[in-house]
Amino acid sequence: MILNVDELKFMYRNKGILDEIAFSINEGEIVAILGPNGVGKTTLLKCLNRILVPKQGVVSVCGDMIDSLELMEIARRIGYVPQRVETGRLTGFDAVLLGRRPHIGWDVSEKDLRIVESAFRTFGINHLRLHYIDEMSGGELQMIAIARAFVQEPKILLLDEPTSALDLKNQIEILHRINSIVEEHNIAVVMTMHDLNTALRYADRFILLKDQSIHICGDRSVITADEIEAVYGVPVMIGELAGVTCVIPQCLCNGNGKKKKIPTDEEGSTYVRNS
């Protein structure tokens, strides 16, 4: 058990955001946090490495309570990739080298440079080393941000929507790289996600948030059509396509693919369960 969360509660001003959150994560696991917009996925992620300080509850990493650790020590154990990173007139290499910050004393050592060099090769982004990051595409920037978190050499990696800015090819590429590095180095990954299909394909365990707390938590078997509808309020179908589990919203189309007139229920929602 590498990360343990118990009785976590977070309030923003007087508004409760998270309540009674408890789960634990083991080495080598990829955990997806799922749930609708605004349910507190990002907040939960930020509570795990003390970017936000929870109102109450315990988070422990590798057996140490997180509020007993120095910020730098937390950064040596947990890496974090936010949804959005700022750019500037610096090269990709500079940007990734920044990930060595928690390990740097007065200045970078040869070892730091070697680690960053190797990260560029591992991620297959060698061509970006001397590109300025303010001229990069969203996908390239995301690759740089994730590479930065990896050279931090953390035990746990927190990713906030790692694939939302990426096209299909980049999504797959990044998640494959994350997957292989998790296997090779036995670290744990916690990521928030919107795309249920990508989550189902790459994550080992799932945490579904609803109404400030964990609705359900577990492996692939907990992801059922009923649970997804309960969390997202949208009826879905789950099936298999060539052995891969797929989730799609129940269709508002009729058989030949043409849109029907979108019906509404009594609450005004456009989604109505197909009878």
Partner 1 sequence: MHFADGELPEDYLKYTHRKVIWILGGIGVLFLLLILSISVGAVSIPPYEVFMTLIGQNVTDKWDRIIWNIRLPQALAAIICGAGLAVAGVAMQSILRNPLASPFTLGISNAGAFGAAVAIIFLGTGRMTSTTAGAVIINNPYLTTISAFVFCMLATIAIIAIAKIKASSPEVVILAGVALSSLFTAGVMFLQYFSDDAQLAAVVHWTFGDVGRAGWSEVIFMGIIVIIACIYFIANRWNYNAMDAGDETAKGLGVNVERLRNVGMIVAALVTAVLVSFLGVIGFVGLVCPHMTRRIIGDEQRYLIPGSIVMGGVLLLASDTVARLIVAPYVLPVAILTAFMGAPIFIYLLLRGYHR
Q: Does 201 bind partner 1 (CB under 8 A)?
A: no
Q: Which is nearer to partner 1, 21 or 75 (CB)?
A: 75
Q: In angstroms, what is the minimal distance from the CB of 1 to partner 1?
A: 21
Q: Does 94 bind partner 1 (CB under 8 A)?
A: yes
Q: Does 99 bind partner 1 (CB under 8 A)?
A: yes
Of 85, 64, 86, nearest to 73 by C-alpha is 64
Q: In angstroms, what is the minimal distance from the CB of 207 to partner 1?
A: 20
**52-71 positions binding partner 1, by CB under 8 A:** 70-71
Of 191, 217, 216, nearest to 205 by C-alpha is 217
Half-sphere exposure of 271 (CA within 13 A, CB side): 9
Written as one letter, the residue type at 270 is T
Choose, by CB under 8 A, the member of 129, 194, 205, 215 that binds partner 1: 129
d(Cα 5, Cα 47) in Å, to the nearest integer? 10
d(Cα 61, Cα 80) in Å, to the nearest integer? 14
Q: Does 215 bind partner 1 (CB under 8 A)?
A: no
First to last CA, the chain: 45
Q: In angstroms, what is the minimal distance from the CB of 48 to partner 1?
A: 11
Q: Which is nearer to partner 1, 20 or 67 (CB)?
A: 67
Q: Does 220 bind partner 1 (CB under 8 A)?
A: no
Q: Which is nearer to partner 1, 35 or 99 (CB)?
A: 99
Which helix H or strand E contains 11, and what residues bound it? Answer: strand 3-12
d(Cα 66, Cα 76) in Å, to the nearest integer? 12
Q: Which stretch binds partner 1 (CB under 8 A): 44-52, 212-220, 222-230, 247-255?
A: 44-52
Written as one letter, the residue type at 185 is H
Helix, strand, coil percentages for the chain (3-state, nearest 5): 35, 30, 35
Contacts of 238 (CB under 8 A, 6+ apart): 223, 224, 225, 228, 245, 246, 247
d(Cα 68, Cα 148) in Å, to the nearest integer? 25
Q: In angstroms, what is the minimal distance from the CB of 51 to partner 1?
A: 4
Q: In angstroms, what is the minimal distance from the CB of 146 to partner 1?
A: 12
Cβ atoms 96, 151 nearer than 8 A: yes
Residues 140-159, mask of contacts with partner 1 (x by CB under 8 A): -----x--xxxxxx----x-
Q: In angstroms, what is the minimal distance from the CB of 134 to partner 1?
A: 7
Total number of residues that touch partner 1 (CB under 8 A): 56
Q: Does 199 bind partner 1 (CB under 8 A)?
A: no
Which residues are at the interface with partner 1 (CB under 8 A)? 46, 49-51, 70-76, 78-82, 84-86, 88-91, 93-95, 98-99, 101-102, 104, 106, 110, 113-119, 121-122, 129-130, 132, 134, 145, 148-153, 158, 181, 185
